[in-house]
Every structure is written in structure tokens, then in C-alpha cells.
Chain A
Amino acid sequence: DSDDSRALLVEELTALGSLSTDVRQLVMASSGSVLEESQIRFYLKRPDGFYWETLSPYPELIVTDGTTLWNFQPDLFQVTIDDWDASQSELAAQLLSGQGAQALAEYEVTHQAIQSGGTEYYLDPLDPASLYEEVTLFFDQQGLASLLLVSTNGQRTFWEFSNREFNTTIADSQFQFSVPDDEMLDVLDRRSATQAN
């Protein structure tokens, strides 16, 4: 039943100690037409390391070490720095990083073996005010292969992972960002004053 599926999924997610992968992201309108396809480089390190670099169609880096969140947009000469608050993080980020178990408590989970091998998990929100209609995660024999987020307004985001490396060692420095000293840069540091160094 739902609890078994949830337990299985938590097990799969917990086994995901670290991941480095290319991501092909498709954002689709409710009609199904593709709004945007982007290429992303993604690093994940439990529990707090999250590095999401959009390579095309525009450059943007989002990275956090669990304490600070940096957003760097080189073509706009913009850097924003925020305190990182894991509870505020979006569902997909929670699922992939350390908060998978808590996040899943708000979903009914079912799963299904796929003929080509692997398992698909379906998350249906228990909370009627959820932003999502449904979330699907697909694991092939190697591990997590894709993730689909369907918003209640029908808009979808699909992530397809390739060149995946699971549970390799990734240096903590991967999840730190040092602001380039370039006077053209507009740096917006919104961290609570006590932390700003």
C-alpha cells in the first residue's frame, strides 16, 4: 500500500548520497507545448550540497552549502546572496536532498515496475492546496533517471538525467561560491546582517 511504496522510495532517495549529472529540462505549458528546453549541470551532496548550473539557453548558477544560497547570472552581472532555509526549498530540491522523508509524508505514494527494468514512483498530494497535481520519479537499474513535476495549473517541468555518477566523492568546495571581484557586478546580499562577512 502507500506506506510500503513510500518506504521504498525513501530508501532509494536515502541511498542517493551524492550525484553529479547532466540534466535536460523541459518546461511545458498546460497545452503540452514546450515553453523551454534547457541544459543544466547538477551536483548533489547529502545533506545540504546543491549545485544547479543552467548552461543554455541562458547562464545561471544556483548553489547552496546548506547555509547560504547564491544566485549568479553572469550575463546580467547580478549576484544575489541569501540565507538558505531548507524548509523553504522547493519540493524537488527537498526530495533530492536530505528532507525527502518529511516531504513525502504529505503525499500518497504508489509505485510500479517498468518492463524495461526500473521502477516508477507516483506522488499524489494529500494537501488540496498543494502546488502539484502529481510528481513522478523514475529509477532505472543505475538509479534516479528522471523526474516530472505537474503543477495544478497544468504546467509541467521534466528533468532527464544523463552521464550520471552516483555516490562519488564531491568536494565541499563545489557548493561554495566566491563572488568574482568585478566592479560591474551588482551584488545583492540579503542575508541577515549578523552573517554578512
Chain B
Amino acid sequence: CAGTDRMDAPVNAAWEQRQQVLNQLQEWSIQGSLHVRDNQDSQSARIRWWQQQEEFQVNLWGTFNIGATEISGTAERVTVIQAGEPPFISEEPEMLFYDQLGFELPIHYLHYWIKGAPFPGMAAELTFGELNQVSSLNQNGWQVQYLAYTNYGLASLPTRIRLSKSPLRLDLVRLNWTLTETGDDSDE
């Protein structure tokens, strides 16, 4: 299979080209399940992430609407609104929301990791599978493993991801992507 050489400096032109496609993908939404496990507990929720340029909204909900959570904002400012709680606003982009959610959710970085790409302009260790798809990525203290990809025409995108930062493990599974062509305003 393709080499799994460690990639500190991007030497692989094909990966360079794929990374550009992924970074240009600025309008998308994903639906799936999020399973959270640390050494005491595990919980799961449905997740819908909507992204348009810098703006995003992440909704989390459990069966019977338990844990209904809406996280929305831009890189500069994020608002978390949870059932039964007053809204929480943060201007710290690297916020991990541990106090709000009960687990760390690195949204600022996940905005790129979820597409199968490292956060730009930061050191990252990458290993590759076939078709220049990242199979695992270490960045900013997190390990991100890409366990499945699906081809969505514009790009092949991860549909099963495991983020780990001991003792926490976040599994994003059953991911279903909806992509919007950016740049051309043709509305099919």
C-alpha cells in the first residue's frame, strides 16, 4: 500500500493539491453520531455541524432531546446555549468547552481535522493511507485517526474519525456530508 512515511514537511505534491481542495471547502454540513469516552464515563449524542466560511453552528442532542446544546459563532467568538443553562460566550478561539460539555471539544482545530487535514500553519505529524488520504494526524496534543473515508465527488472525506487525548476519546461516526459548491452561485 502507499507509503506511510512520516511527513513533517509537505513534500508530496499530490497531498499538497488535496490539502488545497480541502482547505477551499468552506461551505458544508455534517450529520452523525458523537461518542465520548473517558475513564469514568461514556456518553453519546447526535451531532450536526454546519459551516459557512468562518461561521459555524454545531448542534448536539441525545435521545429524547437530552443534552440539547447549540454552539455557534466564528473563530473570534463562540456562544454555547444549553438546555437549562444561561448562554456562555467566549472570545478565546482555542476554548475546549470542558466546563460546558463535560468533555473537551477542540472545535477551533476540528474545523480542519474533520475534513482530514491538519490545522494550517502549525506543526503536525501525518501518516498517509491510499489516495493521499491522511490516516492519522498528531497536532496540538491530540491524535486524530481517520478510520473511514467516503468519496463525495468534490473530495473524499472522513466518515469515521477517532480523536484521542488521554484519557479522553471522541469517536465521530456515521458521518454524512453535504457539500455546497463555493464560488459558483449556481443553485441546482
List the 6 closest pairs (A to B, CB-CB), nearest first: A151-B83, A157-B65, A155-B68, A153-B81, A151-B68, A131-B84
Most chain-B CB neighbours within 10 Å: which of A90, A91, A130?
Answer: A90
Chain B interface helix/strand/loop/mixed: strand
Contact call B42/A153, Cβ cutoff below 8 A? no
Q: Given contacts A29-B57, A29-B59, A157-B61, are A90 and B66 in contact (CB under 8 A)?
A: yes
CB of B19 within 8 A of chain A?
Answer: no
CB of A66 within 8 A of chain B?
Answer: no
CB of A129 within 8 A of chain B?
Answer: yes
Contact call A131/B61, Cβ cutoff below 8 A? no
Contact call A35/B81, Cβ cutoff below 8 A? no
Additional pairs, 18, CB under 8 Å, beyond known A90-B64, A155-B70: A29-B70, A30-B70, A30-B81, A36-B48, A52-B63, A54-B63, A57-B176, A58-B174, A60-B63, A75-B174, A93-B64, A152-B83, A152-B84, A153-B82, A153-B83, A155-B65, A157-B68, A188-B42
| Interchain CB contact (< 8 A) of B61 among A27, A58, A80 | A27
Residue interface mask A78-120, B partner, CB < 8 A = 1: 1010000000001111000000000000000000000000000
Within B23-49, which residues are at the interface with A (CB < 8 Å)? Answer: 31, 33, 35, 42, 46, 48
Contact call A155/B173, Cβ cutoff below 8 A? no
What is the bound-complex CA distance between A35 and B63, given in angstroms?
13
Contact call A157/B48, Cβ cutoff below 8 A? no
Chain A residue total in the interface (Cβ 8 A): 32
CB of B136 within 8 A of chain A?
Answer: no
Residues of A that sit less than 8 Å from B by CB: 27, 29-30, 35-36, 52, 54, 57-58, 60, 62, 75-76, 78, 80, 90-93, 129-132, 149, 151-157, 188
**Which B residues lie within 8 Å of A60 (CB)?**
63
What's the nearest-Cβ distance from chain A to residue B33, in Å? Answer: 7
What's the nearest-Cβ distance from chain A to residue B45, in Å? Answer: 11
**Which B residues lie within 8 Å of A58 (CB)?**
33, 174
CB of B135 within 8 A of chain A?
Answer: no
What's the nearest-Cβ distance from chain A to residue B41, in Å? Answer: 9
Contact call A153/B173, Cβ cutoff below 8 A? no
What is the bound-complex CA distance between A53 and B81, given in angstroms?
29
What is the bound-complex CA distance between A154 and B59, given in angstroms?
11
**Which A residues lie within 8 Å of B63 (CB)?**
52, 54, 60, 62, 90
- Interface bin, chain B: 20 to 34
What's the nearest-Cβ distance from chain B to residue A25, in Å? Answer: 9
What is the bound-complex CA distance between A35 and B59, given in angstroms?
8
Minimal Cβ-Cβ distance residue in A for B171: A76
Most chain-A CB neighbours within 10 Å: which of B61, B68, B81?
Answer: B68
Most chain-B CB neighbours within 10 Å: which of A58, A76, A80, A151?
Answer: A151
Q: Given contacts A149-B64, A155-B61, A155-B65, are A35 and B48 in contact (CB under 8 A)?
A: yes
A-B pairs with beta carbons under 8 Å apart, 30 shown: A27-B46, A29-B48, A30-B70, A30-B81, A36-B31, A52-B63, A57-B31, A60-B63, A75-B174, A78-B35, A80-B42, A90-B63, A90-B65, A90-B66, A92-B64, A92-B65, A129-B84, A130-B84, A131-B83, A132-B83, A149-B65, A151-B83, A153-B70, A153-B82, A154-B70, A154-B81, A155-B59, A155-B70, A157-B64, A157-B65
What is the bound-complex CA distance between A35 and B33, given in angstroms?
13
Minimal Cβ-Cβ distance residue in A for B47: A35
**Which B residues lie within 8 Å of A78 (CB)?**
35
**Which B residues lie within 8 Å of A131 (CB)?**
68, 83-84
What is the bound-complex CA distance between A151 and B57, given in angstroms?
17
